[in-house]
Amino acid sequence: MIIRSLDSITNTDRDVEGALGTWRSKRLILADDNVGFSLHETTVYPGTETLLWYKHHIEAVLCVEGECELTNRDTGEVHTIRVGDMYLLDKNDRHTLRPKTLFRAICVFNPPITGREDHDEDGAYPLNQAAE
């Protein structure tokens, strides 16, 4: 059994800020926990725009605070995501997040990430070798 709290990982190597300064991710479960997925609390800051494309991962996102605009960059569809809404990037969808307020979400990745990842030039995380 694994027990972790957000407080216990704050300001540790599991608490990661994106290099562009648009997000912060507290990574509760990672690849080295050997459970087949990773679990994060991610905060995206208002007034920012983050282009993402998880071409190596499937991500499920549950909004627990705030509101953001989610744009599917392939179809042009725009969705407003609010508290209680979930979205699933089940087709490695290229998307853009534009938070209207502080946006906080619980995110699950499959395969799991290792924990230190930041987005590359495509907005993706690399596929870690341990997850293959």
Per-position DSSP letters for 46-69, written without gaps between them: TT--EEEE-TT-EEEEEEEESEEE
Question: Alpha-carbon torsion 18, 97, 41, 91, what sign?
Answer: negative
Residue 15 has pLDDT above 80, yes or no: yes
In a domain, 123, yes or no: no
- Residue 117 is predicted with a pLDDT of 66
Amino acid found at 70: L
Q: Has residue 76 been placed in a domain?
A: yes
Work out the average pLDDT over 20-48.
96
Do 126 and 59 touch, CB atoms closer than 8 A? no
Q: Reply yes or no on whether the pLDDT at 130 is more than 70.
A: no
Tokens 């991710």 identify what position? 25
Within-domain flag for 79: yes
Whether residue 83 is contained in a domain is answered as yes
In a domain, 39, yes or no: yes
User: Is there a domain that residue 49 lies in?
Assistant: yes
Q: Do residues 37 and 108 lie in contact, with contact meaning Cβ atoms separated by under 8 Å?
A: yes
Within-domain flag for 129: no
| Whole-angstrom distance, CA of residue 63 vs CA of residue 103 | 7
Question: What is the structure's pLDDT at 123?
Answer: 54
Residue 88 sits in a domain whose CATH number is 2.60.120.10
Q: Which domain holds residue 85?
A: 6-114
Instruction: Output the pLDDT for position 122.
Output: 60
- Quick check: is 90 in a domain? yes
pLDDT above 80 for 31: yes
Q: What angle do CA 16, 85, 89 make, to 5 degrees?
A: 65
Q: What is the mean pLDDT of residues 19-37?
A: 94
Which pLDDT value is given to residue 29?
97
Task: Give the whole-number percent of the chain exceeding pLDDT 90.
Answer: 77
In this prediction, residue 132 has a pLDDT band, given cuts at 50, 70 and 90, of very low
Give residue 125's pLDDT band: very low, low, confident or very high (50, 70, 90). low
Smallest CA-to-CA distance from 53 within 13, 83, 18, 97 is with 97
Residue-wise pLDDT for 70-98, tens only, equals: 999 999 999 999 999 999 999 989 999 99
* Other C-beta atoms lying within 10 Å of the C-beta of residue 80: 10
Number of domains in the chain: 1
